[in-house]
């Protein structure tokens, strides 16, 4: 019998679809439709959402409407956890002016991806983030850090754990409040997850400060998630419909689908605060309204079941 004693009683599902999911899709959604999506996600019970990015509009056109989107969401900013990605001081200034209460910074464990995504070195990008993080914390904002390429890099291959841990230590020393570990190209296995979490633990970085962010390129996202849960992780990133990837790493396919994650968590008896039917309705609405491909295996299977039932 499967031993559930090591599992958490509750998990925070950190929805990244409106930012990380949409940034790599070919369909650019109108601002009001994005706002509607976020409101529906909140209505389903999701308590943490990454909603926007303050990068240069020409680099990620799908997210060029950050100020307009946050203006639409203004009544919710004070009562709900919504974050925005900022790349530098200018991005932080825009985010603060827009009323954001949590920002995120995006670091890399590898030099190749730092060059491709940030046009900088690993150390150089961390130097840029230091004053951004300090100013954000001084202004009372929470700061989420991301590390990409934690397990594998399309140019460099397998990534050594010490590279990830070194970047993690720098980010926490600079003042971040939470760190999300990204399997950007989806190559991690459960053994890799255990090894990295153990290495972070050896440096004094607690599980309570960490989140995991898996891509399903090799079909390992749910098994990696379960492993992380058994290792004490209680925050998991996911994207509605499995949307997303990374525009700067072409081998990165879709994120772990929120519907699949919640299906697994509820099946394990883990509380999420999410109404699964409302979440599924949002997924179906998104696909029908936008033409985006919904990649969630759970959503696809349940839609097929419903169609079969209608035919009987």
Catalytic site residues? 246
**Which residue has 């397990």 as its token pair?**
151
Helical segments of 179-296, H only: 190-202, 221-230, 258-267, 276-290
Whole-angstrom distance between the N-terminal and C-terminal Cα of the chain? 37
Residue 271 C-alpha from the chain's centroid: 19
Round to whole Å and give the CA distance between 312 and 218: 36
Q: Choose among 219, 201, 215: nearest CA to 243.
A: 215
Residue 237: strand pairing partners: 14
Distances (CA, A) of 278 to 6, 29, 43, 171, 202: 29, 21, 8, 36, 41
C-alpha dihedral sign at 32, 36, 254, 19: positive
Beta strands in the chain (DSSP E): 12-15, 48-53, 81-85, 102-108, 142-148, 152-153, 157-158, 178-183, 210-214, 235-238
Round to whole Å and give the CA distance between 126 and 11: 29
Round to whole Å and give the CA distance between 174 and 58: 29
Distances (CA, A) of 116 to 78, 132, 198: 35, 21, 29
């Amino acid at each position: 019998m499967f031993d559930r004693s090591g599992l958490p009683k509750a998990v925070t599902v950190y929805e990244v679809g409106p930012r990380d999911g949409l940034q790599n899709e070919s369909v650019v959604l109108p601002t009001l439709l994005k706002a509607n999506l976020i409101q529906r996600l909140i209505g389903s019970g999701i308590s943490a959402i990454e909603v926007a990015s303050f990068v240069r509009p020409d680099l990620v056109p799908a997210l060029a409407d950050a100020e307009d989107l946050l203006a639409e969401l203004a009544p919710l900013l004070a009562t709900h956890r919504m974050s925005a990605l900022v790349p530098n001081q200018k991005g932080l200034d825009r985010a603060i002016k827009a009323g954001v209460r949590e920002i995120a910074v995006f670091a890399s464990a590898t030099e190749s991806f730092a060059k491709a995504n940030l046009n900088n070195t690993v150390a150089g990008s961390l130097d840029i983030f230091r004053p951004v993080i300090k100013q954000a914390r001084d202004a009372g904002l929470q700061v989420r850090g991301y590390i990409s390429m934690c397990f594998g890099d399309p140019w460099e291959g397998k990534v050594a754990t010490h590279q990830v841990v070194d970047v993690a230590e720098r980010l926490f020393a600079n003042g971040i409040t939470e760190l999300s570990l990204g399997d950007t190209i989806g190559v991690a296995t459960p053994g890799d997850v255990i090894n990295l979490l153990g290495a972070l633990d050896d440096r004094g970085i607690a599980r309570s400060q960490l989140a995991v962010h898996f891509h399903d390129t090799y079909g390992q996202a749910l098994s990696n998630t379960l492993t992380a849960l058994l290792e004490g992780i209680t925050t998991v990133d996911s994207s509605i419909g499995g949307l997303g990837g990374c525009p700067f790493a072409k081998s990165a396919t879709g994120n772990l689908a929120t519907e699949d994650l919640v299906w697994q968590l509820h099946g394990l008896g883990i509380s999420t605060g999410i109404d699964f039917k409302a979440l599924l309705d949002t997924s179906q609405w998104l696909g029908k309204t936008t033409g985006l491909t919904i990649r969630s295996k759970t959503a696809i299977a349940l839609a097929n079941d419903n169609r079969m039932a209608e035919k009987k």
